[in-house]
Amino acid sequence: MKALNNIFRRATENPKRVVLAEGEDLRIITAAVTATERGIAEITLLGDVDKINTEAAAAGLDLKSISVIDPAESKAIEHYADAFYQLRQHKGMTMGKAVELMQDPLHFAQMMVHLNDADGSVCGAVYTTGDTVRAAIQIIGMAENASMISSFFLMMLCEPFHQLKGGVIFSDCGLVIDPNKEQLAQIAMSASNSARTLLEEEPKVAMLSFSTSGSANHAAVDKVVEATAIVKQHMPDLAIDGDVQLDAAIVSEIAERKVSDSETQGKANVLVFPNLEAGNIGYKLAERIGRADAIGPILQGLKKPANDLSRGCSANDVVNVIAITVVQSQTL
């Protein structure tokens, strides 16, 4: 897992502060201890302090190097509530409601990131993706060059039988259900930037479709073609093919036959799916049948890193996302 090992190496060279909102969950506590022991991040756990300490003690985990905060008891809550009120008063936020929400670990975590008390957050082992994304958008906000929030999975292809080796970005597989051409273009541009950040490679983007180079005539194909044109307009130096079928995107011999002017030459490291249905099915096929390791979903398009987890995640999954969050924050 060279790509993932590189991510961990970079994290240990410049560790950042990461807040974990679901601190009462044993998976999160275990990941916090592991991340601290490996030196990839300075961790803050949020939740009921007594519950967290009891859970950790029962599992034989030492929290001496980890900050544990109960948002409801924090001295920062008035400051955080006032900051949230200032951000959202134009949407009808009241100071009373702001104080109430800042007692919630999810909102408290995102405010820590917004006010630079943490460099990134990881949530989603208990909270839903919708809640996690909503709080991140409301408090952290979108990056200047982003018009929307999307997600990606970092797929690690490291088994001996994998012909396509290393890390590949799959986007969007977890958030945007049916993007229009402008949204699909934004997903592709964000994913290409994510590839540069995490893979330390020049992105080679495949805009996936059931058509290759106009082999089918359909509105769904037109969307992919038009999105590709938008990306080329904004990022003229980016290697990108679209519309292109999956085999032509990742197999050089097939690309030679199907795409005469291929810019990726069948070596795409960023796969952009036309909608969430295709993306979600695609990454799960790669994970369950192809035995790829799926890390994510990772959010892209925010001012600062605030990443999601699957509610079925393991402690190791959380550690991986913490490392990615650290590397994302290093680029800001």
d(CA 86, CA 79): 11
Alpha carbon distances (Å) from 32 to 28, 38, 63, 67 = 6, 10, 9, 10
- 156 pLDDT higher than 70: yes
Domains and CATH numbers, the chain: 2-141+302-330 (3.40.50.10950), 150-289 (3.40.50.10750)
Single-letter amino acid, residue 289: I
pLDDT, averaged across the chain: 92
pLDDT attached to residue 217? 84
Largest CA distance in the chain: 65
End-to-end Cα separation, the chain, in angstroms: 25
* Res 160: pLDDT: 67
Query: What pLDDT sits at residue 165?
Result: 67
Q: What is the dihedral of CA 229, 231, 236, 239, to 10 degrees?
A: -100
Taking each continuous run of H as one helix and of E as one strand, the counts in the chain are: 13, 11
Across 211-240, average pLDDT: 91
Q: CA dist 193 to 122, 150, 187, 232, Å?
A: 20, 12, 10, 14
Res 280: pLDDT: 94
Confidence of residue 145 (pLDDT cuts 50, 70, 90): confident
Order of strands across the sheet with 150-157?
239-244, 204-208, 270-272, 166-171, 150-157, 293-300
Residue 214 has pLDDT above 80, yes or no: no
**pLDDT tens digits for range 67-109:** 999 999 999 999 999 999 998 988 888 989 999 999 999 999 9
Mark 264-274 as b/e (b = at least 16 C-beta within 10 Å): bebebbbbbbb
Indicate whether 58 pLDDT > 70: yes
- Torsion angles phi and psi, residue 9, rounded to 5: -60, -45
User: 248-300: per-residue pLDDT in tens?
Assistant: 999 889 988 888 888 999 899 999 999 999 999 999 999 889 888 888 889 99
pLDDT digits (tens, 9 = 90+) for 185-212: 999 999 999 999 999 889 999 999 988 8
User: pLDDT category, 19, cuts 50, 70, 90?
Assistant: very high
Of the pLDDT bands very low, low, confident and very high (cuts 50, 70, 90), residue 317 is very high
pTM of the model: 0.91
Identify the band that residue 136 occupies on the pLDDT scale cut at 50, 70 and 90: very high
CA separation for the pair 18, 28 (Å, rounded): 12
How large is the average pLDDT for residues 51-55? 96
Do the beta carbons of residue 300 and residue 152 sit within 8 Å? yes
